[in-house]
Amino acid sequence: MTIGPSSTDPRLDGLEDWIAAQLGPAPNFKGVRYFSEYLRLFGDQLGSIRRIVELGVAEGASLLAWTRLCPDAVCLGVDLHRPARLESALERLGIEERVELIIGDHDEPEGFASAIPEGVDLIVDDGSHLLAPTKRCFLTLFPRLRPGGWYCIEDWGAGYWESFGGPESGVHRLIYELVDEIAIKDRMKPEAGRFRIPVRQPVPIEEMRIKGVEPIVFIRRKQP
């Protein structure tokens, strides 16, 4: 079974078929289309990833894929339900100690934030795709990243759909706010005139990359 187009990166060869063999049908799995973007981001550093957090596990396909692509990583998945087929697959593969599943509401990150250790390499938000919960999760969990770690918000383009908020209230509005945050030093200068904002400590964002073909925004925590 092939879910998406084939990838030119050999690390993704056979991934979709392997996921299907382990879990069966996984309609929420985006396949190699999305993972190709992560591989382009990390390049040869992919193998150095040690801690991954995924918000929104669904059937568990993406979380299982991360265990294969990052064989030394410990993965933590957060969702409203624990996917039974994933738990069975982890036990069958003998990797249940590398994956922790916790019950948590995307709209209430304070309820599960304590379960996420500091020094995470990668956080992937594939949760509700709604503005308010996604923003709360970002503000709560971004500090859990190690310096140089990445926070990734998937499917930001869905924010333009009416069911996800629409043009004025969709999750893509968070991207605008993050751009404002990156520019905060200029916004605090006297030259900003009547648009000047009070001096405050900015969110430590080093860079942000926006992908449109597969709508993912990658936000990197500033390094010392």
Please tell me the distance from the alpha carbon of residue 30 to that of residue 77, in angstroms, as a whole number.
17
Cα separation of 53 and 199, whole Å?
32
* Identified catalytic residue from 81, 106, 129, 172: 129
**Cα separation, 205 vs 220, whole angstroms:** 6
Residue 175 burial (CB count, 10 A): 17
Helix (H) or strand (E) holding 132: helix 131-141
Active site residue 129: yes
CA within 13 Å, CB half, 161: 8
Cα four-point dihedral sign 170, 175, 178, 183: negative
Q: Which residues are catalytic?
A: 129
